[in-house]
Amino acid sequence: MTTCSYVVIPAEGAAETLTERLAALPGCDVARARNRDVLLLVTETSGPEEDHALRTLLERTDGVLALILTFGELMPQP
């Protein structure tokens, strides 16, 4: 499993819609910060190829102003 966490900066006025859009994606859990328009996103994929495809999709999602990787467990544990 590949697990990553991101800070997502939504475009102005897009936080609520973006939260719903990201939460609907398979393997994605999202939480909205209480005091800022910032989203916390945790993703889980089956491997590096799927993670790359998901990251590309996230970067191209309408309403995403910035996607900041804060943690990435990309190598499978032996």
Label residue 36 by pLDDT band (50, 70, 90).
Answer: confident
Number of domains, the chain? 1
* Residue at 78 is within a domain: no
* Residue at 72 is within a domain: no
**Quick check: 41 and 6 in contact, CB under 8 A?**
yes
Report d(CA 65, CA 37) in Å as an integer: 11
The residue-averaged pLDDT of 20-24 equals 97
Say if residue 14's pLDDT is above 60: yes
The residue-averaged pLDDT of 48-73 equals 93
* Residue at 73 is within a domain: no
How high is the pLDDT of residue 11?
Answer: 96
How high is the pLDDT of residue 75?
Answer: 62
| Claim: this prediction has a pTM higher than 0.85 | yes
Residue 11 maps to which CATH number? 3.30.70.920
Give Cβ neighbours of residue 14 (< 8 Å, ≥ 6 apart): 62, 63
> What's the domain range around 10?
2-67
Strands (E), the chain: 2-10, 28-32, 39-45, 64-73
* Residue at 26 is within a domain: yes
How high is the pLDDT of residue 1?
Answer: 83
